[in-house]
Amino acid sequence: MIANNPKHTALTLLCLIIVPLVIAYYAMGLDKSGLDSPFIYEHLDDIWQFTLTKVLKETGWILYNPYLGAPEVASWHYHSAAQTSALHSIIMLAMSPFFDSAITLQQTYFILNFPLIAITAYWACRLLCIARLPAISAALLFAFCTYRFNILIYSFLPNYFCIPLAMVAIIWTFQGKFDETLTAAKLPVAVKALLKNKSFLLGLFFIILIALSDGYYAFFSLLLFGCAGAIRLIVGGWKKPRILIPAILYIAVLVVVSLLIQLPLYQYKKSHHDEFYQNNIADPVLQKFPLESEVYSSSLKLLITPNQQHHVSALGHVGDRLVESSNAARKIAIPASITLGIFGTALLFLSFTLLMVPQLRRSVFADGGTTSEHNKSFIGLGDSLLAIIFFVFLASISGGLGTLIAFVFPTIRAYNRFPIFMEFALLLLGALIASRALSTFRRPAVIAAALVLITALGIYDQTPANVANRSPDIRPRVAQETAFVKQLESELPKDAMVYQFPYSQYLTNNKYYGWGSFNHIRLYLFSEHIHWSNGGSKNSPADNWNRRISKLPIDALLNEIQAVGFKALVIDRIVVKDDEFAKIKLALQALKLLVVEDPSGRFAHVLLPQANFKVSYSKDYTAIDSLTINAATPFDKNAYPELIDAEKLEHFLNDNRAPFPLRIERTQHPEIFKDVTLLTKGALRI
């Protein structure tokens, strides 16, 4: 490791904090619009991620949301991404007391990751003996990768500050850093020395961090450790198996921590078998298939594609053409999520050239110690980086290693995210070459000036031109939806349940919202104590109940929701068009209900009177266990849920003069209650 002057280190850290924050401030348009306004507010994963951040802030974790999926509590165990990125949730949870809004909290965390990524990338460079100035350059460029801006809606994927640290442990394993420790004494003594080695323990700490930071990044690290282990086996491990111990231990810790963090998901899946297996057949919607890795793979063309929103319009046009030509050959179009930029592309082609021309490789890495004189199995930093670059490239491209691995483990499908590891390796390669140039070139000031220029141009090249320009309708939309929810909350008792029309489940192709949309739960983002009906997990009992009653006529739908205690009905006018809304409005007015239309034209709501009765469902919501009638009133056979036999209930009430409130149990009077399996499901009628 390069020795550090404390004063220089402090100034460097100050630079790595201030410079990224200043650049991010203007790059993200914070001088025009604050952090309280969403960077992106559409209808897909941006709503999902804000929802996770909000429930994290409200409840302390992300697996259960008591404000969605009414009349029950929404469980989101079916989507593992949030749980496997627990480290980010822990950090945001610690930050949450200082923020009133989940949107502001999440976006502040995104901004703070610019200096955080720069600091960890710089630290990684220094641990790998990269000179200070090249390390600063690589750190800043890595903090402003185009990938960050392309996926800024998430709280975990773009905040990849753990990747540089994990790469240190990976590179040390490739190099065989601990071989001398393991071969200098008998095995028990050598292992004991290894477990006391500060560098090895630091690598172990880095591995735990990456395992907690993101499931994808943990798996990609696992692949790289596997590759490193295979290379160590080839260069000498088959003769001296003990030199494989670091790779084995690192892999074991990575796997164990990753499995432990997913333990709540496995336990939930085991105890809620029917949510994942319908009639003992796995729900295909909740499964991953090998072909998906082909869909979500990259290519050389996509990796070197210029930023489609480049500041130089000609380069942006080239990017558009390359992506369009790629998608023209695909059944499912995908964006270029990771593009390397001009300098990253140059370094990629340089790495390919170095791999193909051994003489050039020896010249470039001369004096860089590609092979230790005392340890012939040692691999230099340059060669280790080339191996990583080549492996990640092969794994991330269409038809590559990743698509083959998916046949064994299809859960990981988005191999187009893997190149972020390659991008850091490329920057390390450039920094390594620059470090050597600084120490050998007669005029190091020229190299230093070139590094400053490359860093500035690289950040400019990688930062999309449009990222600072938020859609002009975001702030008005958020303001309108906030005002609507606040008005609704003022009219309802605390913790009231509100039924949302239309019902939607993002894992179904809903006719209103379509597949994959989270627009149906967006109002939750602006509420404090309302329990919304949408948002339950697919195949959960309450969500199945919601799906069933959504097919009923509007009057029968009201019977169902009033019977379990819903206090209001909200109609999303964005997806319910004028003709359909007019019919719904007439039907509601015929029931003497007041339909209040929001001034924005985005919503309408109806306050529901309290029903004279309440039902209690079985745990699986396929039957009503009990009916409680509060008072004696004229009997209306059209007022009851469809699982109540109104005629038999009327006979029972006429024959029994029991005092009110009257509770009727299914176990005692089964003739009054129907089973959902006996019902004929009809289409929605207005």
251 Cβ contact partners less than 8 Å away, ≥ 6 residues apart: 222, 225, 226, 229
Q: Running DSSP on this structure, what letter comes out for residue 675?
A: B
State phi, psi for 219 to the nearest 5 degrees.
Answer: -70, -40
Percent helix, strand and coil across the chain, each rounded to 5? 55, 10, 35
26, two tokens: 């203007």
DSSP string, 172-223: HHHHTTTHHHHHSS-HHHHHHHHHH-HHHHHHHHHHHHHHHH-HHHHHHHHH
Over 80: is that where the pLDDT of 368 sits?
A: no
289, two tokens: 């298939």
**Maximal C-alpha separation, the chain:** 107
359: left (phi over 0), alpha (psi -120 to 50) or beta: alpha
The count of structural domains within the chain is: 3
Over 50: is that where the pLDDT of 373 sits?
A: no
Inside any domain, residue 112: yes
- Whether 195 and 98 map to the same domain: the answer is yes
Inside any domain, residue 47: no
Mean pLDDT for 545-565 is 96
| Residue 680 confidence (pLDDT) | 52
- Whether 567 and 640 map to the same domain: the answer is no
Q: Measured between alpha carbons, how far is 100 from 81 in angstroms, rounded to an integer? A: 25
Q: How buried is 565 (Cβ within 10 angstroms: 0-12 exposed, 13-18 middle, 19+ buried)? A: middle
DSSP string, 8-63: HHHHHHHHHHHHHHHHHHHHTTTTTS-TTS-S--SSSHHHHHHHHHHHHHHHSSSS
683 pLDDT band, cuts 50/70/90, is very low
- Whether 337 and 210 map to the same domain: the answer is yes
Inside any domain, residue 228: yes
| Residue 3 confidence (pLDDT) | 56
Q: Measured between alpha carbons, how far is 601 from 239 in angstroms, rounded to an integer? A: 75
Inside any domain, residue 62: no
Boundary residue ending a domain (590, 607, 624): 607
Inside any domain, residue 255: yes
Rounded to a whole number of angstroms, the CA Rg of the chain reads: 30
- What 279-285 contacts at long range (C-beta under 8 Å, 24+ apart), as own/partner pairs, is 283/538, 283/539, 285/507, 285/508, 285/538
| Residue 554 confidence (pLDDT) | 96
Distance of alpha carbon 54 from the chain centroid: 14
- Whether 597 and 630 map to the same domain: the answer is no
Mean pLDDT for 553-565 is 96
403, two tokens: 């698509």
Give percent above pLDDT 90 in the chain.
84
DSSP string, 435-477: HHHHHH-S-HHHHHHHHHHHHHHHHHHHS-TTTT---TTHHHH
Per-position b or e across 483-519, b if 16+ CB within 10 A of its CB: ebbeebbeebeeebbbbbbbbbbbbeebebbeeebbb
Q: How buried is 451 (Cβ within 10 angstroms: 0-12 exposed, 13-18 middle, 19+ buried)? A: buried
Mean pLDDT for 249-255 is 98
Of residues 65, 48, 66, 55, the one with CA closest to residue 495: 66
- Whether 409 and 557 map to the same domain: the answer is no
Boundary residue ending a domain (581, 607, 633): 607
Average pLDDT in the chain: 93
Mean pLDDT for 648-655 is 91
Boundary residue ending a domain (436, 462, 488): 462
- Whether 102 and 83 map to the same domain: the answer is yes
SS3 for 367?
coil
- Whether 373 and 500 map to the same domain: the answer is no
Q: Measured between alpha carbons, how far is 216 from 160 in angstroms, rounded to an integer? A: 11
Mean pLDDT for 279-293 is 89
Model pLDDT for residues 78-121, shown as the tens digit of each residue: 888 899 999 999 999 999 999 999 999 999 999 999 999 999 99
Of the listed ranges 356-365, 484-493, 675-684, the one predicted with least confidence: 675-684
| Residue 598 confidence (pLDDT) | 95
Inside any domain, residue 577: yes
685 pLDDT band, cuts 50/70/90, is very low
- Whether 548 and 654 map to the same domain: the answer is no
Distance of alpha carbon 627 from the chain centroid: 42
Instruction: Catalogue the E-assigned strands of 247-348.
Output: 277-278, 281-282
367 pLDDT band, cuts 50/70/90, is low
Mean pLDDT for 530-539 is 95
Mean pLDDT for 224-236 is 96
Of residues 201, 200, 222, the one with CA closest to residue 211: 222
Distance of alpha carbon 10 from the chain centroid: 34
- Whether 357 and 487 map to the same domain: the answer is no
Inside any domain, residue 564: yes
- Whether 624 and 504 map to the same domain: the answer is no
Q: Measured between alpha carbons, how far is 83 from 260 in angstroms, rounded to an integer? A: 11
Of residues 394, 574, 459, 492, the one with CA closest to residue 142: 459
State phi, psi for 405 to the nearest 5 degrees.
Answer: -60, -30
Over 50: is that where the pLDDT of 686 sits?
A: no
668 Cβ contact partners less than 8 Å away, ≥ 6 residues apart: none
Encode 544-557 in three state secondary structure.
Answer: HHHHHHCCCCHHHH
Q: Measured between alpha carbons, how far is 303 from 316 in angstroms, rounded to an integer? A: 14
Of residues 501, 451, 675, the one with CA closest to residue 603: 501
Q: What's the domain range around 533? A: 473-607
Inside any domain, residue 37: no
- Whether 365 and 480 map to the same domain: the answer is no
Residue count (the chain) = 686
Strand partners, 616: 626
| Residue 6 confidence (pLDDT) | 84
Question: Quick one: which H or E segment has residue 167?
Answer: helix 162-175
- Whether 147 and 289 map to the same domain: the answer is yes
Of residues 50, 16, 214, the one with CA closest to residue 24: 16
Model pLDDT for residues 303-316, shown as the tens digit of each residue: 999 999 999 999 99
